[in-house]
Amino acid sequence: MEIAEKSEIELRILKAAFEMFRQRGFKSVSMDDIAQHLGMSKKTLYKWFRNKDQVVYDATACYLRSIQESCEGYICEAPNALEELFRIMTLTKQVFSDMHPSIFHDLQRHHPDSWELWVKHKSGFMLEKVKGNIRRGIKEGLYRKDMDVEVLARMRLALIELPFNREVFPSHEFNISQVQLAVLEHYMLGMATLKGHKLINEYKQITEEE
């Protein structure tokens, strides 16, 4: 993900701004809110960023880049495909914990350029990593061989946004992080062979009768 190199103060602003966006939604956070949160004047904030749209774009780009780096690290360190998914579950819990349910809606409706960053991240980086995990799991005998990798990978990406659909999962009834983890676990169990299920149970410290 190509973005210009940022100074230390710019990165501090972007990190703080995205955390506010993540918790409150993009629409409800103003430049005044960001400046007040950082203890600086709005004039100082505008010295670094033209407008809120640029803050949203750069903050989203930096955040997605950090997620990509974390994913790469998990993949490199994981001894098998299932370990990859369990580590991704940990990352998922961190990412979606306390995330505002309107975040995808706000981004798509009010910041289309920033939404396009997410779309490219999902259809490019994430799609390739999901397909790579499936192929690895099949090769290791942990996932079933009879699966259509392309279809399953795209289904997985569609499921990422499902917990944010308030018609399916009303925010006053469901915790987004818990729904994400449940969906990911269901996806993992659906792919697993008997060998894979046994390994999953070992990771979860579950004993099942044959």
Any residues with CB less than 8 A from the CB of 185 and at least 6 apart, and which? 89
Question: How many distinct structural domains can be found in the chain?
Answer: 1
Q: Which domain holds residue 136?
A: 8-204
Q: Does residue 192 sit in helix, strand or coil?
A: strand
Task: Return the CATH number at 147.
Answer: 1.10.357.10
- On whether residue 169 sits in a domain, the answer given is yes
Q: Which two tokens stand for residue 191?
A: 């792919």
Length of the chain in residues, anyone? Answer: 210
- On whether residue 19 sits in a domain, the answer given is yes
Task: Return the CA Rg of the chain.
Answer: 19
Output the pLDDT for position 208.
52
Task: Of 119, 116, 99, 135, give the one whose Cα is nearest residue 26.
Answer: 99
- On whether residue 1 sits in a domain, the answer given is no
Output the pLDDT for position 210.
46
Rounded CA-CA distance 107/118 in Å is 9
- On whether residue 3 sits in a domain, the answer given is no
- On whether residue 210 sits in a domain, the answer given is no
Average pLDDT of adjacent 10-residue blocks, the chain of 210 residues: 71 94 93 95 93 96 92 92 89 77 89 94 94 97 96 92 87 86 90 95 68
- On whether residue 161 sits in a domain, the answer given is yes
Output the pLDDT for position 162.
87
Output the pLDDT for position 96.
74
Any residues with CB less than 8 A from the CB of 129 and at least 6 apart, and which? 71, 75
- On whether residue 182 sits in a domain, the answer given is yes
Which single residue is written with the structure tokens 């308030």? 166
- On whether residue 174 sits in a domain, the answer given is yes
Q: What pTM did the predictor assign?
A: 0.82
